[in-house]
Structure 1
C-alpha cells in the first residue's frame, strides 16, 4: 500500500463582473496574493456577449506548491483548469445581485461547497429592460436564492462602499474576500497586493477596508419572507416570478404607508406650485403622493396652468373613488398614468432633458472628472419625420408630414443619425433651441391629438366606474402598454386601442375586469401583437380592431 498523501486540490474562484468594474484587476490581485505566499496561481477569462447581456467570467485557481514526494517522471507543476466546473467552485464573487443569480443558475455556486460574495445593488439586465411590461427580476427572490444556494453568503452594497472611497467595486470586493477568511492569507498580504499595483492605491485601500468590515457583518435578508417550504431555489433570469396573494396584499399596504408619509405638499413642490398642491389634500390619502409627483412633473413639462388641467382630470375620476380610506387604486393609478401621458416624449422634452444642469453634473460625477477638467458629452440622435412634424405648429406640421419631398429630405439628412456635442456651443445651442419651443407646444399637432385622446380615455373610465369599479381600474392601467417611441410607441398605441374597444364590449359582464387584465398582460407579452390577437379571439369579444 502506498504511503503517499492525497494530492491537494486547488482553491477555485469564479468572478462574475461587468465591463468597467475591474474584474480583471481583482483577479490579478488574487493571483498576486497567492504567488507571494508560494502558491501556483492561474487566471483566465471568458468575455460575455456584451457588458450586460453576459458578464465576463474570470476564473482563478490557486494550488499549494507540492510538498509530497513526486513519482519518477511526475510533473513539478500542476495542470490547472481554464474554466469553472459546475459544482466545483469554492468561492464565487459577483459584482451585482443578478450575477449572483446567474452563478447559482449555472451551477457555479452550490450550497454544499461555495462561499458567495455578492454586491446587493442592481444593474438591470437587457432582458429586464426590453420587456414590454415590468421585466425586473424580484430582488427579494435573488437575495433568498443567494442565502439558500451557497454554503455561505456575504452580501453588501459594495458599489456604494467603493463610491464612498472614490474607488471602484473591485477594491471593495477584494476587501470582502479578505474579510471572509476563506483564503489562507492574512490581511497584510492582501493590502500589499494593492500597494504593488501602484495605481489609485490610497482610494483602493480605503475601499478595501470598507469591504473588509462589511464582510464581517450579517448579510441582508429578503424584505418579504418566503411562503413556500425549503428545498432548492429556482431562479429564472429575465422574468418576474408569480406573486403570492399574501405578498401582493402586504406590498399594497406598504405602498399605502409610504404614500401617507409623503403627503406634505412642501416636500415635493416649490412655492410656485404650493397653491396647486393644496388641492391634493382633497384626494384620498393613498393617492396624494402620486398626485404631488404629477403636479411637479406636469409643471416642469409645460407650466402651472398645465398642472391645473392635470388636477382637474384626476379630481374628476377621484370623485368616483370607492376606496378612499384604503389603497384608492382608481385615483392613484389615474394620477400616475395621466401624468405620464400628459408628459409624453417629444423633441422639446428631449432637448430639455439633455441640457439639464443636474444631468451634466451627474455625468461628471459618474466619470469622476476633476474640477475644471474638460469633458465632452455626445448625444446620438435619430429623429424621424413624424417626430419633427409633430413638434411644429399643426398648420405647418400637417402639410409637411404629407409632403414626399420633405420626407425624402429628412430621410437623407438623418439616415445615419446625428451626433450632437451637448457640451459644445453648436450642440448646446441646438438643444436649447428645441427646449425653448415649449411655449409653442400647445399649438403642435401632436399636443392636440394627445389631449383629445386623454379626455376620451378618462370619459370611458368615468362612465365605467359608476357601475364597475374594478373594470374602471383596469381601463386606467391598460395605458401601461404604451411606451417608448417610434415603432414601439406605434405598436403600443395600436394595442391600447384594441384594449379600449374590448373594455367597451366587456362592460356588463361579471368577469369584465379579469378578462381585460388578461388582455393587457397579453399585449405586454410580445411586440407584434400575436398574443393579444389570440387573447382577444378567446375573450368572447368581437372587437373590430386588431393588434
Structure 2
C-alpha cells in the first residue's frame, strides 16, 4: 500500500475519534446507461454497508473508467458493475459478523437466534489484522508451517454474549483498509480491470469471458484459496501472454472457457496445468503452420 493509501486509511480509521464523518454517499457516475443504474445503485448501498461511503466512491471511480468505452455495451458494463461489487465485498470474518448481525434486524420474533460455525485458514484470520502486525505474524506462522491450519469460529445470535462478540467483530471493519487481505484484494481487482481493459484493445470478443473469471473467486478458506490460484494460473498462463504477444491465441475466450472447465478442487492444479500446457502447445503449433 502506498504512503498516501496508508494515510487515507488511517484517517478513515480515526474518523470517529477526530470528529469527522466519512463524507456523503457517492452519486452514480455521469453517463451510466439506464439498464446499469439499478445494479450500480445496489452496489453502492452494499459497499457503504460493507465499508463506508469512501469505499463506495472507489467503486464508482473504477466503474467510471468503462463508461462510454469502445466495445463496452450495457450488458458488459452491467456485468462489470455487478461482479466488481461482489469482489469488493469479499467474505472475511468481519463481513460474516456483519451479515449475522443483520439477521437481528428482521421482524420481531422472526428468529430465535442461531449459531453458524465457519472454518478459516489461520492465515486468513491473521490477514484481517493491520499489515504492520499481520506480516510479522504470518512470517512466523509460515516459518513453522502453520498457515494452513483450519480454525473454527462461532458466529452466534443465540445469546447476549454471542451478539456482543459479533458487534466487536463487525466493528473491526475500520481496520480492514489496513489489512493484508485488503491490500491483496485491491491488487486483484485492479488486475482484473486491467485485463478487461487490455482485452478491449487486443481481443474485444474475449472481454466477456475475462469479466466472468471473477466468478472463480468466492467465499473463504480453501474454496477461496483454490479459486484465486486457478484464476492466476489462467491469467498468467493464457491471458497475459496473449496480450503481450508471446502467445498466439486467436480465440482467447474459447481458451479461457476450456481452461476453466479443467479447474478442479485440487491444490496441485494438475488437470488445470495440463490443460493450459495443452492449449499453449496447440497455439504454438497453429502459429507455425
Cα distance, 1:293 vs. partner? Answer: 2.1
TM-score of the superposed pair, with normalisation by structure 2: 0.76
The answer for the alignment partner of 1:462 in structure 2 is 197
The answer for the alignment partner of 1:392 in structure 2 is 129
The Cα RMSD (Å) is 3.1
Cα distance, 1:466 vs. partner? Answer: 2.0
TM-score of the superposed pair, with normalisation by structure 1: 0.42
The answer for the alignment partner of 1:352 in structure 2 is 98
Cα distance 1:519–1:320, how it changes in 2: closer, same or farther (>3 A)? farther
Whole-angstrom distance in 2 between the partners of 1:332 and 1:321? 15
Alignment check: 8 A CA contact 1:317 1:461 kept: no
Post-superposition CA distance 1:147-181 (Å, at most 9, x none): xxxxxxxxxxxxxxxxxxxxxxxxxxxxxxxxxxx
Cα distance 1:433–1:537, how it changes in 2: closer, same or farther (>3 A)? same
Alignment check: 8 A CA contact 2:196 2:207 kept: yes
Query: Which of 27, 38, 41 matches 1:276?
Result: 27
Cα distance, 1:311 vs. partner? Answer: 1.1
After TM superposition, list the pairs within 5 Å mapping 1:21-170 onto structure 2. Answer: none
Q: How many aligned residue pairs are there? A: 253
| Higher RCO (Cα < 8 Å, 6 or more apart) | 2
Whole-angstrom distance in 1 between the partners of 2:57 and 2:135? 29
Cα distance, 1:287 vs. partner? Answer: 2.6
Rg comparison, structure with higher value:
1
* Aligned-partner SS, 1:456: helix
Alignment check: 8 A CA contact 1:478 1:499 kept: no
Whole-angstrom distance in 2 between the partners of 1:408 and 1:491? 19
Cα distance, 1:426 vs. partner? Answer: 1.5
Cα distance 1:477–1:410, how it changes in 2: closer, same or farther (>3 A)? closer
The answer for the alignment partner of 2:231 in structure 1 is 496
Cα distance, 1:532 vs. partner? Answer: 2.2
Alignment check: 8 A CA contact 1:482 1:496 kept: yes
Cα distance 1:509–1:485, how it changes in 2: closer, same or farther (>3 A)? same
- Where structure 2 has 5 or more consecutive residues not aligned to the other structure, the ranges are 1-23, 283-289
The answer for the alignment partner of 2:181 in structure 1 is 446
Whole-angstrom distance in 1 between the partners of 2:76 and 2:208? 5
Cα distance 1:470–1:402, how it changes in 2: closer, same or farther (>3 A)? same
Cα distance, 1:360 vs. partner? Answer: 5.6
Cα distance 1:323–1:438, how it changes in 2: closer, same or farther (>3 A)? closer
- Higher helix fraction (1 or 2): 2
Q: Is 2:272 the partner of 1:536?
A: no
Whole-angstrom distance in 1 between the partners of 2:140 and 2:234? 33
Alignment check: 8 A CA contact 1:321 1:330 kept: no
Alignment check: 8 A CA contact 1:317 1:331 kept: yes
